[in-house]
Amino acid sequence: MHFLDQAKIFVRSGAGGPGAVSFRREKFIEYGGPDGGNGGKGGDIVFEAVAGLNTLIDFRYTQHFRAQRGQGGSGANRTGAGGEDLVIKVPVGTQILADDEERTLLVDLTRVGERVVFLRGGDGGRGNASYKTSTNRAPRQHGTGWPSDEAWLWLRLKLLADAGLVGLPNAGKSTFINQVTNAQAKVGAYAFTTTRPQLGVVRHKQREFVVADIPGLIAGAAEGAGIGDRFLGHIERCQVLLHLVDANDEDVAESYRIVRDELENYGAGLTDKRVIVALNKIDTLDDELIAALSAELEEASGAEVIPLSGAAGTGVDWVLDKLLEAIGPEPGAVSDDDEGEDAIEWSPV
């Protein structure tokens, strides 16, 4: 399946149906009277976040979405049928943005089953029965129904993951995610084997958490060098970053700084996240060189450095322990401090 994390779509709610102009013509009712029913309400445009989707590829082929309009009213005070709501299913983590210069954020769907009525369908028009008064016994006016709303929108997907992998191209990120998950990411002895984000579920110490692997960053990624930094949005929601540095690089400290500079240029609070630094591919080095490179990397990063080999499995459990510690308790776990506090439900305005 192709990966697509941005799409532009057009949405239109349903217009309200017109009210009816009708008069009773029944044999034993002497004066009859108006009996035109109201029109039906138009369908709403609803966005729903569902599980099992991790790409917006469907919106490349279907870009126009229109809800049904309401049907017209009829005689005998019969109200027209309402138009069906159009539910647009999107992956969890999808943002809905306005089609303007600033790409203003309108809705952020971050939970499975979260729904938001984005455009409301028009109300049905009034039938002539509703216009009857003591002085207007045979009204012939009726409402035509409220018009629909429409908009061009941008959908942007930011994958939901607990931990994100960052590093230069060929730093061993794909090998690591293949070692700890069933992601089956492409691995090769050349740069940019990863061209799109990958997700994998880690099972460690009776816990599960999601890891995201994004294409490698190079100097100037913020200006578009390499694959650029457009995929960094997929780790904005991560609680912790695992920064892998290739032990075979000429200067491991410089390799670390290049990636950190690109994260800082991107912004969005990525440099404020907790970072676990690992010296990867140590299976090709001796202990003395591993210690020297680790010390050099610790001085550059100011953090503890974990010697790691994603291919051989060395240090993998150590890294996973650190990730679990940074991620914290499982969602739904209640601590002593949280007892008695009421949960707050989010609802769209």
- Bind-site residues: 167-174, 194, 213-216, 280-283, 309-311
| Spatial contact of 178 and 213, defined as CB atoms under 8 Å apart | no
The binding site for GTP comprises 167-174, 213-216, 280-283, 309-311
The binding site for Mg(2+) comprises 174, 194
Alpha-carbon span 284 to 277, nearest angstrom: 19
| Spatial contact of 123 and 144, defined as CB atoms under 8 Å apart | no
By CB neighbour count within 10 A (0-12 exposed, 13-18 middle, 19+ buried), where does 82 fall? buried
Which pair of structure tokens corresponds to residue 237?
């929601």
Question: What contacts 75, CB < 8 A, 6 or more positions away?
Answer: 20, 22, 23, 24, 35, 36, 37
- Judged by DSSP in three states, 91 sits in strand
Which pair of structure tokens corresponds to residue 145?
């129904």
Which pair of structure tokens corresponds to residue 83?
């138009």
Characterize 252-291 residue by residue with b for buried, 16 or more Cβ atoms within 10 angstroms of its Cβ, and e for exposed.
Answer: bbebbebbbbbbebbeeebeebebbbbbbbbeebeeeebe
By CB neighbour count within 10 A (0-12 exposed, 13-18 middle, 19+ buried), where does 296 fall? middle
